[in-house]
Chain A
Amino acid sequence: MTVVIQRNCRRRIKIHKTLKGLIVPFAILIIWYMLSAAGLLNNYIIPPPVEILETALALLKKGTLSKHVMASLYRVFVGFSAAFVLAFPTAVLVGMASALEDYVNPLLEFIRHIPPIACIPMLILWLGIGEAPKIAVIILAAFFPIFLNTLNGVVGCDEKLLEVGQIFQFTAKEKFLKIILPSAMPSVIVGMRLGLGYSWRALIGAELIAASAGIGYMIMDAEQLSRPDIIIVGIIIIGVLGYLIDYLFFSLTGKMSGVKERI
């Protein structure tokens, strides 16, 4: 009974929170609409919201929007997965063998401070103008948040919990799988969330410079065609997709690892 009441209460709080979060965007939309209707905004620079909606629907109907969205999502998926496959084991290795940290830290600190976008010209020279440089930019962007947070999680594992494993004669593998990894999970997930956000941002940057498909490309193309409505549709799609991906990721990982409440 108490559990049901608590669950209902939590649901109600969540709905309230969502509704509160919608107030400001709606207010902006209404103000935008009113200013456009009153002729106070130059429709060529800032088209009215209705026109943006019409453009979005037209792009959807033609299949242009889905084509660009799919291209961007594909790059994020591949790049982010590759970043995780590289960053997670590296962080675990460095975290477990603390002697390694001294060797790799300076190099990693050096690379960490280089914005991935700055590497695009070099990546194009090395990897051509296909998918590879864009995916490489995402890997560079997502690697460090995943690496650093995983490393923090592994290194920060409570020594007292490890002693419990020692008392029960755990092997090094058992200590890692049963104590270190689960206790590092919240940090790993935070790193993955940040990495996902960073890779999304880096991707759009890469697509703005060198691409023939993707939301970034769509925005760049619209700028050359003087279509601010498409630019705004692209910007809104980036925000909405970023939000949705983060939400889906958080829900999924939260359910899988039970860490949702602790982050």
Chain B
Amino acid sequence: MKDLKKTYHIKNCEIKALSGINLEVEDKSFVTVVGRSGSGKTTLLRVLCGLEEKSGGEISFIEGNSSKAGTKISMVFQEPRLMHWLTVGENMAFSLRKEDPDIIKHKVDRHLDLLGLKQFKDAFPRQISGGMAQRVALGRTLCYDPEVILMDEPLSALDAFTRQVLQKEIVKLFINQQKTVIFVTHDVDEAVLLGQKAVILEDGIIKKQIPIELPYPRDQAQDKFFKYRQEILKTIMGD
């Protein structure tokens, strides 16, 4: 991302949501974006996946030394956004519309198994818990098999226990599937727990980038974990 900008025009007011983001995300890396509400985290993801038009700057995907077109990007939203008229299995297959039915079935079954949703394959979204629904949303994205996964506070609406379980699952999936992940959160612990690099956003610009050099799975009781956490907090609070 080079000098990425996004400005909203509301009535006669100009609101700069992103004021020049310069960020390099390495292939198959896990980046967490953390910041206060209104710092531009969600806008950044929405611009990256094309849900919002950028007002300026450049987004490029580079493979080797040349830029690569048609990179498959997907997003997991804050809410599961499942199709309520489809079953869990059908929701997982939602993005797979041009593939052979046998391949679709195989992909869905594999991801249902991976996310522990096999027995809920025929359940409707209203019949499963919030945590499970978010897992289905994650499964839907994984079935799509994107190169880049954007996650917009996908665990923020869940209870602490479910969130912990899903955090572990996301780490496991990242290690096994080797995707590029950009994960937005306002939870500093989550940012340290998941990311290989924490990007701190404030008022639409990057305030600091902190590489987190801790092996997975991470232990929140570790001294190093605490130090990273403090560093991010200090940056956000401006101390």
CB nearest neighbor in B for A168: B95
Known contacts A168-B74, A174-B97, A178-B94; A163 and B50 CB within 8 A of each other: no
- Interface 9-residue window, one of B77-85, B105-113, B155-163, B197-205: B77-85
How far apart are the CA atoms of A166 and B74 in the complex, in Å?
10
How far apart are the CA atoms of A167 and B73 in the complex, in Å?
8
Contact B79 A166 (CB under 8 A): no
The smallest C-beta distance from B59 to any residue of chain A, in angstroms, reads: 16
Quick one: CB contact mask for A227-249 with B, threshold 8 Å, 1 for yes? 00000000000000000000000
When distances are taken between beta carbons in the complex, the residues of chain A under 8 Å from B84 are 183
When distances are taken between beta carbons in the complex, the residues of chain A under 8 Å from B81 are 160-161, 163-164
When distances are taken between beta carbons in the complex, the residues of chain B under 8 Å from A166 are 50-51
When distances are taken between beta carbons in the complex, the residues of chain B under 8 Å from A170 are 97
Q: B183 on the interface (CB 8 Å rule)?
A: no
How far apart are the CA atoms of A178 and B83 in the complex, in Å?
9
Q: B144 on the interface (CB 8 Å rule)?
A: yes
- Quick one: which of B51, B83, B94, B144 contacts A163, CB cutoff 8 A? B51
Known contacts A168-B74, A178-B94; A185 and B85 CB within 8 A of each other: yes
When distances are taken between beta carbons in the complex, the residues of chain B under 8 Å from A183 are 83-85
Q: A259 on the interface (CB 8 Å rule)?
A: yes
When distances are taken between beta carbons in the complex, the residues of chain A under 8 Å from B95 are 168
B: interface residue count bin: 10 to 19
Q: How many residues of A contact B (CB 8 A)?
A: 17
Q: B136 on the interface (CB 8 Å rule)?
A: no
When distances are taken between beta carbons in the complex, the residues of chain A under 8 Å from B144 are 168
Contact B74 A167 (CB under 8 A): yes
Most buried by B among A161, A167, A258: A167
Contact A161 B85 (CB under 8 A): no
When distances are taken between beta carbons in the complex, the residues of chain B under 8 Å from A160 are 77, 79, 81
How far apart are the CA atoms of A161 and B77 in the complex, in Å?
11
When distances are taken between beta carbons in the complex, the residues of chain B under 8 Å from A258 are 85
Q: B236 on the interface (CB 8 Å rule)?
A: no
Q: B75 on the interface (CB 8 Å rule)?
A: yes
The smallest C-beta distance from B30 to any residue of chain A, in angstroms, reads: 20
- Quick one: which of B77, B85, B94 contacts A168, CB cutoff 8 A? B94
Q: Which residues of chain B from 29 to 82 have any CB-CB distance to chain A below 8 Å in the complex? A: 49-51, 73-75, 77, 79, 81
How far apart are the CA atoms of A183 and B97 in the complex, in Å?
18
What are 16 A-B pairs with beta-carbon distances under 8 A?
A160-B77, A160-B79, A160-B81, A161-B83, A163-B81, A166-B50, A166-B51, A167-B73, A167-B75, A168-B144, A178-B83, A178-B97, A182-B85, A183-B83, A183-B85, A259-B85
| A residues at B contact (CB < 8 Å) | 160-161, 163-164, 166-168, 170, 174, 178-179, 182-183, 185, 257-259
4 nearest A-B residue pairs (beta carbon)? A168-B95, A182-B85, A164-B81, A167-B75
Beyond contacts A168-B94, A183-B84: 14 other A-B pairs, Cβ-Cβ < 8 A, are: A160-B77, A160-B79, A160-B81, A164-B77, A166-B51, A167-B73, A167-B75, A168-B74, A174-B97, A178-B94, A182-B85, A182-B86, A183-B85, A257-B85
